[in-house]
Amino acid sequence: MEPKRLNKFISDTGFCSRREADRLIEEGRVTVNGKEPEAGIKVTPKDKVRIDDQLLNVREEAPVFLVLNKPAGLSATADMEVRDNVVRAINHPASLQPVGKLDRDDEGVLFLSNDSDFVRKLTKMDSKLEKELIVSVNKPISSDFISKLSEACASFENGIPKKAVVNKEATSRFRITLEPGMNHSIKKTCEAMGYNVTFIQRVRIQNITLTKLQKGHWRTLTGTEVESLKQLASSKPDKAPSKAKSGSRDFGSREHGAKANPNREKAGTSSREGYQKPARSGASDFSGAGKRIGKSRPAPASAGSAKGARGGAKGTPKTGGKPGATGRGSAPKRSPKR
């Protein structure tokens, strides 16, 4: 293994994040081979790195890149102190970390990997990834709401706004496509418009969708998918986009402007592709580890990788669900009362 910077070495052990590692180093709580480390030092697994006299070990693992169809009720974190987290539920042998954020009550596409550089860089580039979301709100939506939301999430290029594509799918449900550079804070945007978001399903990130991926199941990303995401993660951030010359306004003040513009873009036709009805709980979604779905064959077993190319997460969230759920929609039979 090539030498690593000390903070990355500590992070790769799963002890803490790089930022936290830097703090521990500054506080003098880290030693390398019994000595206080010099600035910029690089270490290998042969070096003895200790934090408060606790010896750290890095597991040598083959790179793992997964996509999970996360159900509601699980926290998208690797912190084992957090109840019902995705890493514990998947029960994969690799030291996985989730990429980006997806709230506990939300569902859909979530990447996980044991490549800490990949996780860190792709998380930073979150707003540069194209996403498709299905969003439900607490009251009926109107064409005026669709128009204003499209403008509120717009990106600007050379002073020209590019609106988000928003399609109404039901009385209180819509589908939105967020391109790189757009406002991805859907919940805050809707709240500012007087709507509360009750459910979000992320059905796509870039060209990676939930197709043939049941809720609570994961699969290994293909080499092409991984390479595409790595290129995005390594690309330099774009310069801050220039806003319209007439002065940028927040969407709350665009209400009159939206009405005054007769040539505003019309939302596209609605589409139900990829939508999955939200479950009442995630209890029955995680029914056994390594369960294959579809007709794909499991990848050959190798060090640091799961036995199957596709699988279901292990463990059941403690919140919600019917007692005794088996994951097949049936409960164990009870003996008749005497």
Active-site positions? 103
Cα–Cα distance for residue pair 222/228, rounded to 1 Å: 10
Give me 321's structure tokens. 């669900």
How do strand 160-162 and strand 107-113 relate by DSSP bridges? unpaired
DSSP assignment string, 93-154? SS--EE-S---TT-EEEEEEES-HHHHHHHHHTGGGS-EEEEEEESS---HHHHHHHHHHT-
Burial pattern 187-207, b for ≥16 Cβ within 10 A else e, equals eebbeebebebebbbbbbbbe
Cα–Cα distance for residue pair 213/184, rounded to 1 Å: 24
DSSP assignment string, 158-171? TTEEEPPEEEEEET
Burial pattern 325-335, b for ≥16 Cβ within 10 A else e, equals bebeeeeeeee
Cα–Cα distance for residue pair 284/319, rounded to 1 Å: 11
Is 156 exposed, middle or buried, given 0-12, 13-18 or 19+ CB atoms closer than 10 A?
Answer: middle
How many CB atoms within 10 Å of residue 76? Answer: 21
